[in-house]
A and B are shown apart, each in its own frame.
Chain A
Amino acid sequence: MTEVVVTGLGATTPLGGDVASTWEALVAGKSGVGALEAEWAQELPVRIAAQLAVEPSEVLPRVRLRRLDRSEQIALIAAQQAWDDAGLSDDLDRERLGVVFGSGIGGALTLLEQDDILEEKGPRRVSPFTVPMLMPNGPAAVVGLEYRAQAGVHAPTSACATSAEAISWAADMIRIGRADVAIAGGAEAVIGGLPMAGFASMKAMSTRNDDPERASRPWDRGRDGFVMGEGAGALVLERREHAEARGATIYAVVAGSGLTSDGFDIVQPDPECNGGGRAMRAAIEQAGIDPKSVGHVNAHATSTPVGDMAEVKGVKREIGEHVVLTGTKSMTGHLLGGAGAVESIATILAIHDGVIPPTINLDDPDPELVLDVAANEARKMDLDAAMNTGFGFGGHNAAVLFTKP
């Protein structure tokens, strides 16, 4: 069967403007969460978030910024890094280049901003770039256009499972022979009044406003919801023979992936993690490896009361009690549609560097936490295989399994 490998990584996150700085902060256990100082946030029940460490305006030219929603800006930044990291040459056959890049919510900030203009100044003042900025396939389209991808540009949308799902589809695209190279990932930038108020009304978010850095605390007894983050991650996936023929550096193999759905509830996770567990099993079966060789799971672990514990059940049942978990959302916050890509990068680097980043703020573990977690300090560990999971509102489940090259 066609083997799919990872040859390029890119990211811009609350911990750093690129992969190296993000990874360094993750391993060091730094929090990217802070107080929202803006005026619009002051009346909200939640006034904390994990904002980008490096503003897109420091990276992209001004006119480019004007025509892209913030989610598209960071998708482009992450993809540019991944592309450069992969070292692909200009003569790459673009009819063999695909893009699978998602966003959970799309250009919500553009929608709101342009709606204000419509109300205050009238329809003629609405930007002619409004539609390409707010459409949920915008990040995929912008990345595809940047690299003239012609094998297909796709935009999966499955809430917080989006970019883990994108990696899975991109790997499939290469496996079934529709592309030799695919840029996969996700981006999200919706730290604004309405999205924040909506999640807060669901009681899904932490209200630990007085202690932002300690608000995201997966598996801790004191957890009270997720912390909104913004960021993007991108991976260059490539057919192994294609990568080897050009002498590319291979970070990891995308050994398998699984996509399932709960059929359970629009927002509540299945407390037994049946659908999530089936996704994990599917990934392991596709890889054709013994579950015992999966040493680490970068868990979805959003710091919500039900979801964190359900996943522990799923991992224990499908992979086993030997596995070491971590929840990097304790540091990055929840990047929604960007989460799976950034966390897959962390999973790949855990294999590559032999170190699992910590789950910070895990001071008082939930008694149902029956698996080992790299709590509060990074854990050195030689890993042959590691998994990233992502679960989204709507009951979408994704698991991606990476192995050593």
Chain B
Amino acid sequence: MSRDEIREGLSDILEEVAGVNPDDVAEDKSFTDDLDVDSLAMVEVVVAAEEKFGVKIPDDEVANLKTVGDAVSYIEKG
């Protein structure tokens, strides 16, 4: 799966669980500062991403996923 495809998948999740406008989703955007995804919403995003991309994102790792690009890279590594 390409980085663009992963980003689009994340964008769908962000829209569904947190109401984020897909036009705002870019790799350099911070989940909390730019996209208004708070800590509880982030839990939902992570669970949905695990399901969609078939990866495991441990709780310890979530703190390192500050931007959309961080998440894309983590998922890309699988």
Q: Which residues of A contact B (CB under 8 A)?
A: 61-63, 66, 124-125, 127-129
Contact = CB atoms under 8 A, between A and B. Distances in A.
Given A124-B47, A125-B47, A66 B40 contact: no
Interface string B1-32: 00000000000000001110000000000000
A253 B4 CA distance: 62
B44 interface: yes
B43 A128 contact: yes
A116 to B, nearest CB: 16
Q: How large is the interface on B (under 10, 10 to 19, 20 to 34, 35 or more residues)?
A: under 10
A303 B75 CA distance: 59
A62 B44 contact: no
5 contacts: A63-B18, A125-B47, A128-B41, A128-B43, A129-B40
Contacts of A129: 40, 44
A63 B17 contact: yes
Q: Which 6 A-B pairs have the closest CB atoms?
A: A63-B19, A128-B43, A128-B40, A125-B47, A129-B40, A124-B47
| Most interface-central of A66, A124, A127, A128 (chain B CB within 10 A) | A128
Main secondary structure, interface of A, reads: helix
B25 to A, nearest CB: 15
B19 A127 contact: no
Nearest to B18: A63
Contacts of A128: 40-41, 43-44
B68 to A, nearest CB: 18
Contacts of B47: 124-125
B43 A66 contact: no
A57 to B, nearest CB: 14
Given A63-B19, A128-B44, 13 more contacts: A61-B19, A62-B19, A63-B17, A63-B18, A66-B17, A124-B47, A125-B47, A127-B44, A128-B40, A128-B41, A128-B43, A129-B40, A129-B44
Nearest to A131: B40
A188 to B, nearest CB: 25
A75 B7 CA distance: 37
A61 B20 CA distance: 13
A64 to B, nearest CB: 8
Contacts of A125: 47
Contacts of A127: 44
A303 B19 CA distance: 44
A128 B17 CA distance: 12
Contacts of B44: 127-129
A396 B21 CA distance: 48
A114 to B, nearest CB: 13
Contacts of A63: 17-19
Nearest to A125: B47
Contacts of B19: 61-63
A34 to B, nearest CB: 32
Interface in B37-74: 40-41, 43-44, 47
A388 B42 CA distance: 45
B12 to A, nearest CB: 14
A124 B47 CA distance: 7
Nearest to A66: B17
